[in-house]
Structure 1
Amino acid sequence: ARGNEAKIGQLNPLTRYGAPSEIAHAGLFLASDDASYVNGQAIAVDGGLSSSHPVVRRR
């Protein structure tokens, strides 16, 4: 596990782990009436990781 947090910062554009509440909010949205017209979608709650190239910051 040593060094994993720094690796997340290199890969994820938001440079941090997602909070459990952020994942829960996406699920609550899908379960709510606000998402009544949403169907057949894969919603990535990953801080932009799946829509970007790895970000490597210079030291």
Structure 2
Amino acid sequence: MHREAVPEDVPGLLERLGEVPDPRDPRGVRHALVVVLALSAWAVLAGATPCWRSASGSPTLRPLS
């Protein structure tokens, strides 16, 4: 029998994002990876679209290759 999950049992988004290893060179890091990932996730949840998707419909931008 499974019991219902309570908030204390379920890790939060920031806790999970904090577990992601940072592959960046430390010399150029200005912001913690968890902050970058969290802001990206919140932007997507708010309706943001990827920059390459937005550029694909732009008449003034063309592919680099």
TM-score, with structure 2 as normaliser: 0.36
Larger radius of gyration: 2
